[in-house]
């Protein structure tokens, strides 16, 4: 029979002649299906209708599926979480109980139910699928299953902690929920999360067969009874699972995130009792996590990430489409469709570490890409690495040889720039010498067509100066990737004085196609990230010069939540790289970021950091994966040549933290005052994605809001003797007087 639905409904009900009922969801107003209040009410109404037909009629089975291509359900509507902040624990628990009970109706009736998972099946979407008796996943690459609530500082609250461990076992369930990562349909089949894996065009027939097989032989009822009982687990195995998982969680989170240990405890306690009681444990744990400041900050971080995903790069606030900055088409409210994407023939020039990583990112994103390097030796040596990087499997933590072989057909390489003739988007990534870049960029422009966008991957070269190489500089911008390219998600899209809106929009769209998080910044020394980072690094070295142990400085930074301390970071970046960046920033902002004499002295001695086996620290070997053995004694001796007088009182850990972080905050305020970024949220997004600033603090400006402007000013007062770098800006003083917010 045809589908039936109200005009404003989110699902259609199909009643087939053979007794099957198919519920197909399509949620309007969203790019993917999400669990809105309307979805929940429509599902309840549909189940009421099925139950209410009565008079001996029972469907042969119910199938849940999405009517939207590539999306089962991508999770709950995030706006629903905002409404929980002011609710009581009892009210929150009641909402969890109601959602879990609704999904539970799918496996509590005489008829069996099957969920067809085609596309994203995340969070509440997976909990909806878990509420069904059986699950069919498709082989489509977009089919991903996961419980990402932990990334919002929460846990699954609609049955995920109850049903998942009963279905796949406590170990895999805990790992999946604690990590918050998605798995493919194939992996889901392997662990028993889905009952069949088929191509999308065969999914409905597979669901029918499951209903016929399991509905007729009593398998469904037996499974329901098993999933309602406690989970049988040996006490020694349970103790080992608890201790090992707790150790892994502590290693990953350093105790800063309450959700992972709460998930572990909730799942283990829930396994010991019947499913009904486990549900009450889940609701209570969810309500407790909603109250935490960490959850609020992580939800905010999620929101600014969503804003970024919808931002064209030329809108005033990432949503309205208003235009700020730009040159050739400044003031335009909309752009033609082909200006915001549609890259068909991307190319990368330069096969060094960064160029190879950028090329690999294109392959991973499904693009065919041309890689050009005039040095045939460098080009030839890079090809295998590009393919290995592109075929890296994060699940197995190794390169998928079959995938690498398949990707090889998408990689075209050449030692002649003439190979760029058909490119419509070029990323230049040659050596960071302005004279070389200037020459290469001019040659690229002479080869590619007039509509091609040309970008440069640079961390230090001014875009305005490089733009002198162009006849038409409106199609040129910076595209600053961070190393390592595969792991670092931020990309700075650097707008020069002549860069057009269309160029920025295409660069932003292409970066998103590569799975990156692009932030548009105006051309200035250090752009955004390096400008905010340098005061942090500079202050760390100044404290070392005062005699503070570098290990103590790094420990304080890690305790704050940074992934590594500033001295460790210096060694990882490379002291030679940092030296050059310091020269650029020192020339621009020397009154507060004066280049330290320590860095060039260490470089001159051959201590370049981790890659050379010695920097501030000594390493067991050279290379980016080398492990620290101890502070380098020879480096310490060099530092002491440039020793400066220390403050009268030895610094406390709180003082060390303030000296590291407050200069970063001051520089970010100057960035905002100068209009380098369009919105304060861009600063927080950038420092989280590029510098590892702790997401649980919401970003640099969100962290400052937890202190308040007046408190920031108070903390700066005892540091004023250190010079201009510790003096509050006029904007900060005004904010303190007004009691305003950094993130408003």
In tens, the pLDDT along 176-212 reads: 999 999 999 999 999 999 999 999 999 999 999 999 8
Query: Does the structural domain 530-738 have CATH classification 3.30.1370.100?
Result: no
**Quick one: pLDDT at residue 1?**
39
Mean pLDDT of 421-426: 96
Measured between alpha carbons, how far is 39 from 32 in angstroms, rounded to an integer? 13
Q: What is the DSSP string of 174-188?
A: HHHHHH---EEHHHH
Q: Which of 339-353, 515-529, 567-581, 689-703 has the lowest mean pLDDT?
A: 339-353
In tens, the pLDDT along 506-531 reads: 999 999 999 999 999 999 999 999 99
Q: Is 733 helix (H, G, I), strand (E, B) or coil?
A: helix
Q: pLDDT at residue 335 above 80? A: no
**Quick one: pLDDT at residue 475?**
97
**Quick one: pLDDT at residue 111?**
92
pLDDT band at 78 (very low <50, low <70, confident <90, very high): confident
Query: Which string of b and e fits 635-653 if b means at least 16 CB within 10 Å?
Result: beebbeeeeeeeeeeebee
- 156 C-beta neighbours (distance < 10 Å), count: 29
Q: Which of 157-171, 356-370, 440-454, 614-628 has the lowest mean pLDDT?
A: 614-628
Q: Which pair of structure tokens corresponds to residue 500?
A: 């057009």
pLDDT band at 218 (very low <50, low <70, confident <90, very high): confident
**Quick one: pLDDT at residue 319?**
39
Q: Which residue has the tokens 């440039």?
A: 642
Percent of the chain scored above 90 by pLDDT? 78
Name the nearest CA neighbour of 351 among 315, 320, 333, 377.
Answer: 377
**Quick one: pLDDT at residue 315?**
72
Measured CA distances, 67 to 3, 33, 154, 199, 234 (Å): 11, 9, 29, 16, 43
HSE (side-chain half, CA atoms, 13 Å) at 729: 19
Q: Is 525 helix (H, G, I), strand (E, B) or coil?
A: coil
Helix (H) or strand (E) holding 709: helix 709-716
Mean pLDDT of 243-253: 93
Contact 601, 636 (CB under 8 A): no
**Quick one: pLDDT at residue 54?**
53
Contact 14, 69 (CB under 8 A): no
Q: Provide the β-strand partners of residue 65.
A: 24
pLDDT band at 697 (very low <50, low <70, confident <90, very high): very high
Helix (H) or strand (E) holding 361: helix 353-364
Measured between alpha carbons, how far is 429 from 386 in angstroms, rounded to an integer? 14
Measured between alpha carbons, how far is 431 from 103 in angstroms, rounded to an integer? 57
Query: Does the structural domain 11-290 have CATH classification 3.30.300.130?
Result: no
In tens, the pLDDT along 533-592 reads: 999 999 999 999 999 999 999 999 999 999 999 999 999 999 998 888 888 888 888 788
Contact 148, 182 (CB under 8 A): yes
Q: Hey, where are the domains in the chain?
A: 11-290, 340-523, 530-738
**Quick one: pLDDT at residue 336?**
40
**Quick one: pLDDT at residue 334?**
37
Contact 297, 698 (CB under 8 A): yes
Instruction: Please give the mean pLDDT across all residues of the chain.
Output: 91
Q: Which pair of structure tokens corresponds to residue 479?
A: 């595209």
Query: 340-523: what CATH class?
Result: alpha beta
**Quick one: pLDDT at residue 623?**
67
Percent of the chain scored above 70 by pLDDT? 94
Q: Is 636 helix (H, G, I), strand (E, B) or coil?
A: helix
Q: pLDDT at residue 327 above 80? A: no
For the beta sheet containing 120-122, the strands, ordered from the edge strand earlier in sequence to the opposite edge, are: 71-73, 120-122, 144-146, 183-184
Q: pLDDT at residue 240 above 80? A: yes
Q: pLDDT at residue 353 above 50? A: yes
In tens, the pLDDT along 627-658 reads: 888 888 999 999 999 999 887 788 999 999 99
Count helices and strands in the chain by DSSP H and E runs: 30, 22
Contact 73, 124 (CB under 8 A): yes
Q: pLDDT at residue 283 above 90? A: yes
- 616 C-beta neighbours (distance < 10 Å), count: 30
Contact 272, 230 (CB under 8 A): yes
Mean pLDDT of 442-460: 96
- Which positions are catalytic? 480
Residue bearing the bigger pLDDT, 605 or 630: 605
pLDDT band at 215 (very low <50, low <70, confident <90, very high): low
In tens, the pLDDT along 452-474 reads: 999 999 998 999 999 999 999 99
Measured CA distances, 663 to 524, 626, 667, 713 (Å): 18, 30, 6, 12
**What's the distance, Cα to Cα, between the start and end of the chain in Å?**
53
Q: Provide the β-strand partners of residue 518.
A: 491
| Spatial CB neighbours of 23, under 8 Å, sequence gap ≥ 6 | 11, 12, 13, 14, 43, 46, 62, 63, 64, 65
Contact 481, 457 (CB under 8 A): yes
Measured between alpha carbons, how far is 481 from 354 in angstroms, rounded to an integer? 8
Measured between alpha carbons, how far is 386 from 364 in angstroms, rounded to an integer? 10
Measured between alpha carbons, how far is 212 from 201 in angstroms, rounded to an integer? 19
Q: Which of 328-332, 553-557, 740-744 has the lowest mean pLDDT?
A: 328-332
Q: Which pair of structure tokens corresponds to residue 281?
A: 């444990």
pLDDT band at 398 (very low <50, low <70, confident <90, very high): confident
Q: Is 716 helix (H, G, I), strand (E, B) or coil?
A: helix
**Quick one: pLDDT at residue 253?**
92
**Quick one: pLDDT at residue 2?**
40
| Spatial CB neighbours of 474, under 8 Å, sequence gap ≥ 6 | 327, 328, 498, 499, 500, 503
pLDDT band at 55 (very low <50, low <70, confident <90, very high): low
pLDDT band at 339 (very low <50, low <70, confident <90, very high): very low
Radius of gyration of the CA atoms of the chain, in A = 28
Q: Is 500 helix (H, G, I), strand (E, B) or coil?
A: coil
Q: pLDDT at residue 437 above 90? A: yes
Measured between alpha carbons, how far is 204 from 182 in angstroms, rounded to an integer? 23
């Amino acid at each position: 029979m045809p589908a039936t639905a109200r005009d404003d409904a989110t699902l259609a009900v199909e009643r087939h002649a053979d007794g099957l009922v198919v519920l197909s969801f399509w949620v309007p107003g969203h790019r993917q299906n999400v669990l809105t209040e309307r979805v929940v009410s429509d599902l309840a109404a549909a189940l009421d209708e099925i139950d209410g037909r009565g008079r001996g009629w029972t469907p042969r089975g119910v199938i849940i599926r999405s009517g939207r291509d590539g999306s089962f359900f991508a999770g709950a509507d995030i706006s629903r979480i905002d409404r929980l902040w002011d609710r009581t624990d009892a009210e929150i628990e009641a909402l969890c109980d109601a959602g879990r009970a609704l999904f539970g109706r799918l496996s509590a009736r005489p008829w069996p139910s099957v969920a067809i998972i085609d596309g994203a099946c995340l969070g509440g979407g997976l909990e909806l699928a878990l509420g069904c008796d059986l699950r069919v996943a498709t082989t489509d690459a977009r089919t991903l299953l996961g419980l990402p609530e932990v990334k919002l500082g929460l846990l699954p609250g609609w049955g995920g902690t109850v049903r998942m461990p009963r279905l796949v076992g406590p170990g895999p369930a805990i790992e999946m929920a604690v990590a918050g990562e998605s798995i493919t349909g194939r992996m889901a089949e392997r662990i028993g999360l889905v009952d069949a894996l088929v191509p999308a065009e065969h999914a409905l027939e597979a669901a029918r067969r499951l209903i016929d097989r399991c509905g007729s032989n009593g398998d469904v009822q037996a499974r329901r009874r098993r999933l309602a009982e406690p989970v049988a687990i040996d006490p020694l195995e349970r103790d080992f699972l608890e201790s090992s998982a707790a150790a892994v969680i502590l290693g990953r989170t350093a105790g800063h995130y309450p959700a992972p240990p709460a998930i572990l405890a909730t799942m283990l306690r829930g396994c010991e009792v019947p499913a009904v009681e486990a549900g009450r444990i889940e609701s209570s744990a969810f309500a407790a996590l909603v109250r935490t400041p960490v959850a609020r900050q992580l939800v905010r971080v999620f929101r600014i990430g969503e804003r970024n995903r919808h931002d064209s790069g030329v809108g005033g606030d990432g949503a309205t489409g208003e235009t700020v900055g730009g040159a050739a088409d400044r003031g335009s409210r909309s752009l033609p469709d082909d200006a915001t994407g549609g890259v068909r023939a991307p190319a990368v020039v330069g096969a060094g570490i960064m160029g190879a990583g950028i090329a690999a990112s294109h392959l991973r994103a499904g693009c065919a890409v041309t890689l050009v390097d005039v040095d045939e030796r460098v080009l030839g040596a890079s090809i295998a690495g590009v393919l290995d990087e592109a075929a890296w499997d994060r699940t197995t933590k190794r390169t998928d040889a079959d995938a690498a072989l398949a990707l090889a057909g998408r990689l075209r390489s050449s030692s002649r720039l003439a190979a760029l003739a058909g490119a419509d988007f070029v990323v230049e990534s040659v050596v960071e010498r302005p004279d070389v870049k200037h020459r290469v960029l001019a040659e690229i422009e002479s080869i590619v067509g007039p509509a091609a966008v040309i970008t440069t991957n640079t961390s230090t070269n001014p875009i305005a100066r490089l733009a002198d190489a162009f006849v038409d500089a409106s199609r040129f911008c910076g595209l600053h990737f961070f190393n390592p390219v595969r792991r670092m998600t931020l990309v700075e899209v650097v707008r020069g004085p002549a860069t057009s809106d269309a160029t920025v929009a295409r660069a932003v769209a292409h970066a998103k196609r590569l799975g990156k998080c692009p932030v548009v910044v105006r051309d200035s020394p250090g752009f955004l990230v390096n400008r905010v980072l340098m005061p942090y690094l500079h202050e760390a070295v100044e404290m070392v010069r005062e005699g503070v142990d570098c290990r103590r400085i790094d420990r304080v930074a890690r305790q704050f939540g940074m992934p590594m301390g500033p001295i460790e970071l210096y060694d990882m970046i490379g002291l030679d790289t940092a030296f050059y960046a310091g020269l650029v920033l020192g020339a621009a902002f020397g009154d507060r970021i004066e280049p330290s004499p320590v860095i060039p002295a260490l470089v001159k001695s051959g201590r370049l950091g981790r890659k050379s086996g010695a920097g501030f620290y000594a390493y067991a070997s050279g290379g980016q994966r080398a492990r620290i053995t101890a502070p380098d004694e020879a480096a310490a001796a060099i530092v002491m040549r440039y020793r400066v007088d220390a403050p009268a009182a030895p610094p406390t850990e709180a003082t060390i933290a303030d000296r590291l972080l407050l200069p970063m905050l001051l520089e970010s305020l100057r960035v905002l005052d100068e209009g380098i970024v369009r919105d304060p949220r861009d600063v927080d997004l950038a420092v989280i994605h590029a510098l590892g600033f702790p997401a649980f603090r919401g970003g640099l400006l969100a962290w400052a809001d937890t202190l308040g402007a007046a408190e920031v000013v108070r903390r700066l007062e005892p540091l004023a003797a250190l010079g201009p770098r510790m003096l509050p800006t006029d904007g900060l003083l005004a904010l303190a007087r007004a009691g305003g917010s950094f993130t408003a």
